[in-house]
């Protein structure tokens, strides 16, 4: 069985607690239109990675200065690398990420970016959601491995409900905290390895996908069997099931049999 690593993505207010359960990716940083690194301060905690919110970054600014600031913070705090949450690529953002990738590689720092930045960052690891709407889950993992290599793929395991208005041509859905689900109409898809429910709204079909403890276990086990070695878990969403999930990263993953439909 492939040896795996997992990171607990955590905001500052739960980071100390998360650090007692596993390696932390600290969600305490952001870079916005000011093109300067900002930090949300909390109780100091040992973290493996710095997680940087760059969703409002435009790319217009001093690329070299920002790359230096990011890598300097990594080295100052003893992080092994950084995770960048980036918006859709632009020419400016792509150029910045290419520069940062070179600098991180030179300094021996890890860099994790969304799949859409893979071409700009050939040395980076690709962070991608472990949820897909079409095809099969295993097929999606095989495709990622074929493109980037098993060691360069990191799966983001999310315990959320995602609502897709069909046909979802972009593959994007909206995350909803309290979906109006009907228990007797809940099903499980072995192909997607996810729970689902469908409904009609204003004459348009919707599909809601979500994961529970068992489907997350199945996704971890299947990805490990295919050679994926790194996973991210959002700590506040999995704190109650984390002991059961952690078993899947070190040994055979026990999965409870599902009742017949």
Q: Kindly give the pairing relationship between strand 161-165 and strand 204-210.
A: antiparallel
Asked if residue 129 is part of any domain, the answer here is yes
Asked if residue 259 is part of any domain, the answer here is no
What pLDDT is stored for residue 258 in this prediction? 57
Q: How many CB atoms lie within 10 A of CB 258?
A: 11
Shared domain check, 103 and 232: yes
CATH (domain of 172): 3.10.50
Asked if residue 242 is part of any domain, the answer here is yes
Asked if residue 258 is part of any domain, the answer here is no
Q: How many residues does the chain have?
A: 261
CA distance 95 to 117: 10
Say what the pTM is: 0.91
Whether 59 contacts 99, CB under 8 Å = no
Shared domain check, 167 and 109: no
Shared domain check, 229 and 104: yes
Whether 8 contacts 235, CB under 8 Å = yes
Asked if residue 110 is part of any domain, the answer here is yes
Q: How many CB atoms lie within 10 A of CB 65?
A: 11
Shared domain check, 178 and 110: no
Shared domain check, 185 and 96: no
Shared domain check, 219 and 202: no
Shared domain check, 185 and 217: no
Shared domain check, 146 and 218: yes
CA distance 14 to 5: 20
Closest CA to 223 of 146, 150, 125: 150
Encoding tokens for residue 204?
Answer: 């348009």
Shared domain check, 229 and 240: yes
Shared domain check, 202 and 128: no
Asked if residue 52 is part of any domain, the answer here is yes
Q: Phi and psi at residue 184, in whole multiples of 5°? A: -75, -10
Asked if residue 60 is part of any domain, the answer here is yes
Its domain, for residue 166, covers 160-210
Encoding tokens for residue 69?
Answer: 């600031």
pLDDT along the chain (261 residues), means of 10: 84 96 97 90 89 94 95 96 96 96 96 95 92 89 95 94 81 74 86 92 89 94 94 96 90 61 41
CA distance 183 to 3: 37
Asked if residue 19 is part of any domain, the answer here is yes
Shared domain check, 166 and 126: no
Number of structural domains found in the chain: 2
Shared domain check, 144 and 23: yes
CATH (domain of 79): 3.20.20.80
Whether 48 contacts 33, CB under 8 Å = no
Which neighbouring-strand residues pair with 125?
A: 112
Q: Kindly give the pairing relationship between strand 5-10 and strand 230-234.
A: parallel
∠ CA 208-8-230, rounded to 5°: 85
């Amino acid at each position: 069985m492939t040896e795996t690593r997992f990171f607990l993505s955590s905001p500052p207010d739960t980071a100390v607690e998360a650090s007692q359960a596993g390696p932390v990716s600290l969600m305490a940083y952001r870079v916005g239109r000011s093109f300067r690194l900002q930090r949300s301060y909390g109780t100091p905690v040992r973290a493996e990675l710095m997680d940087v919110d760059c969703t409002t970054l435009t790319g217009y600014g001093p690329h070299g200065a920002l790359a230096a600031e990011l890598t300097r913070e990594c080295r100052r705090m003893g992080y092994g690398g950084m995770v960048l949450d980036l918006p859709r690529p632009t020419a400016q953002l792509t150029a910045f990420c290419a520069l940062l990738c070179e600098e991180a590689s030179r300094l021996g720092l890890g860099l994790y970016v969304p799949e859409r930045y893979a071409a700009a960052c050939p040395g980076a690891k690709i962070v991608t959601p472990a949820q897909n709407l079409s095809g099969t889950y295993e097929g999606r993992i095989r495709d990622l491995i074929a493109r980037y290599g098993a060691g360069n793929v990191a799966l983001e395991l999310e315990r959320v409900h995602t609502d897709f208005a069909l046909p979802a041509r972009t593959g994007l859905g909206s995350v909803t905290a309290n979906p109006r689900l009907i228990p007797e109409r809940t099903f499980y898809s072995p192909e997607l390895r996810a729970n689902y429910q469908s409904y009609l709204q204003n004459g348009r079909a919707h599909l809601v996908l979500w994961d529970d403890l068992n489907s997350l276990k199945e996704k971890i086990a299947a990805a490990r069997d295919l050679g994926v070695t790194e996973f991210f878990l959002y700590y506040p969403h999995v704190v109650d099931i984390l002991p059961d999930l952690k078993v899947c990263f070190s040994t055979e993953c026990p999965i409870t049999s599902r009742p017949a439909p």
